[in-house]
Amino acid sequence: MTDTALPPGPFYQRDRRLQPPALTPAYKTSVARSPRLPMISLENTISEITGPRFGHADLGPLDNDLLRNYAQDGDPIGERIIVHGRVLDENARPVPHTLVEIWQANAGGRYRHKKDSYLAPIDPNFGGCGRCLTDADGYYFFRTVKPGAYPWRNWVNNWRPAHIHVSVFGSGFAQRLITQMYFEGDPLIARCPIVQTVPDADAIDRLIAPLDMNAAIPLDSLAYKFDIVLRGRRSTMFDNRPEGN
Amino acid sequence: MPQPLDYLRETASQTAGPYVHIGLAPGAAGFEIFHNRIGGDIAGPEAQGERIRVAGCVFDGTGAPLKDVLIEVWQANAAGIYPHPEDPRANEVEKGFRGWGRVISDFETGEFTFETVKPGAIPGPKETMQAPHLNLWIVARGINIGLQTRAYFEDETEANAADPVLSLIEQAQRRDTLLARKTAGGYRFDIHLQGDKETVFFDV
């Protein structure tokens, strides 16, 4: 950690009551892909407290601009938006210089993936992925188009709400997180068995990005704000256990 | 009412979904977009130690291989050092050793393989040493929150017997689910998400 003089301690216990359990039968694929035995609780060792680091040399200049990073002969079709926010930990400290990656369908709900066969067309100017590093204050932003809703084979008539997949690293491998960002006001959110894998109503609300008019660019793009919270960590103030634990 | 504890709460996890490759391995999704791929070379060209190849499959509760799984590997170098400022010996790590990589299963067979160097032993809690191991994080469609496990090496018998993490597992036969098996080409590490051979997963 660069923002504290104290030797860092282990991450706070993940609160599994706010996290989706492995087995959530309404999301059918989870049934055969969920462990049946309990996890073994493991106090953090150096293997969990450390994790990979990334730098600007890993990225290209357009990597966070989905309007341009796959443009062939023009801009993609769709509602132009900015997605921005901060990566914080549970102590409300910014998580600086960490890698944020996103992927999404195009404005019609079609993914650029060889396994997606939905009849809505591919957009020739839209790839659907981006990445960036948070700045020293934990800020990130992307420019993209708002993704469309998307049908999937779960129930006969299941549609994913508009969503953007988000992957974040943090400073230690125990903070590794993948989630999905939803859009304020979408009536599909309450109907989605993937959203509803999260057992806590407030935790679901925190996956929904509000419209952020203050960050919109007039005559150009609307904006949505999505803050991401990673696990905090203990200081070693009251902790006299040996180093390396 | 007592004073509120003003901690923020961790963002909830959601499944990576079937199209995780678009964001994390776009070449596999069927298109090239970024100039720099990340995650393809765990150890780098200058890494010391024994070069190894690890292959395996992730199986669901029916015994079928997952063909859309993504695994991330995090490991120390051959001297047991992590390339991270919180490892006190981090400045001894070879240039180009990232210790991290991304691996996806084959869309047809479900088989994954990666190449790296065998990690060294790593300090554990108190005076213990952890046996050489790879830290693995597994995400896929149907997995709501990334599964953490470890791959140890079956030929490190003595170190494994003294490992403080393996010894947390009450049923001794379940420890075997974390042992990568020696093969002609390196090691094999199959992961069983559910059922008789269920792999041990950790709440870290």
Q: Cα separation of A40 and A25, whole Å?
A: 23
List helix spans (H) across B80-171: 157-161
Are A19 and B133 inside 8 Å of each other by CB? no
- Of all residues in chain B, the percent with pLDDT exceeding 90 is 96
Q: Find residues 191-230 of chain A whose CB sits inside 8 Å of chain B.
A: 194-195, 197-198, 200, 202-204, 206-207, 228-230
Query: Is the model's pTM score more than 0.90?
Result: yes
Is residue B19 a contact partner of residue B29, using CB atoms and an 8 Å limit? yes
Contact B11 A245 (CB under 8 A): no
Instruction: Give A16-30+50-230's CATH code, choosing from 2.60.130.10, 3.40.50.150, 1.10.3720.10, 3.40.50.300.
Output: 2.60.130.10
Cβ-contact A202, B10 below 8 angstroms: no
Q: How far is B183 from chain A (nearest CA, A)?
A: 26
3-class DSSP assignment, residue B47: coil
**Chain B, window 105-164: residues with a beta carbon less than 8 angstroms from a chain A beta carbon:** 107, 122-127, 130, 133, 135, 137, 139-148, 150
Question: What is the DSSP track for A164-207?
Answer: EEEEE--SSGGG-EEEEEEETT-TTGGG-TTGGGS--HHHHHTT
Residues from chain A that touch B201, judged by Cβ atoms under 8 A, are 35, 39-40
Contact yes or no for A112 and B23 at CB 8 A:
no
Count other C-beta atoms under 10 Å from residue A136's C-beta.
10
Which A residues in the span 71-110 are in contact with B, Cβ-Cβ below 8 Å? 88-92, 101-103
In the 8-state DSSP scheme, what is residue B73?
E
Query: pLDDT tens, B134-186?
Result: 999 999 999 999 999 999 999 999 999 999 999 999 999 999 999 999 999 89
One digit per residue, the tens of pLDDT, for chain B of length 204 reads: 999 999 999 999 999 999 999 999 999 999 999 988 899 999 999 999 999 999 999 999 999 999 999 999 999 999 999 999 999 999 999 999 999 999 999 999 999 999 999 999 999 998 999 999 999 999 999 999 999 999 999 999 999 999 999 999 999 999 999 999 999 989 999 999 999 999 999 999
- More confident: A4 or A222: A222
Cβ distance B137 to A173 under 8 Å? yes
Instruction: Give A131-171 pLDDT, tens digit per residue.
Output: 999 999 999 999 999 999 999 999 999 999 999 999 999 99
Residue type, B147: L
- Inter-residue contact B77 to B97 (CB < 8 Å): yes
User: What are the structural domain ranges in chain A?
Assistant: 16-30+50-230
Q: Which two tokens stand for residue A210?
A: 């509000």
Two structure tokens written together for A214: 């203050």
| Tokens encoding A78 | 């769709």
Mean pLDDT within A7-33: 94
Please indicate whether, in this complex, the C-beta atoms of B60 and A33 are within 8 angstroms of each other: yes
Q: What is the structure's pLDDT at A237? A: 53
Task: In whole angstroms, give the CA distance from residue B78 to residue B2.
Answer: 51
The span from the CA of A98 to the CA of A175, in Å, is 11
Residue A233 near residue A89, CB atoms below 8 Å: yes
Domains of chain B: 11-192 (2.60.130.10)
Residue type, A52: P
Q: Is the pLDDT of residue A3 over 50?
A: no
- Strand-by-strand arrangement of the A177-183 sheet: A129-133, A99-103, A163-168, A177-183, A208-209
For chain B, the straight-line distance linking the first and the last C-alpha, in angstroms and rounded, comes to 32
How confident is the model at residue B37, as a pLDDT?
A: 87
- Burial state string for A209-233 with b = 16 or more CB within 10 A and e = fewer than 16: beebeebbeeeebebbbbbbbbbbb
Beta bridge partners of A235: A8
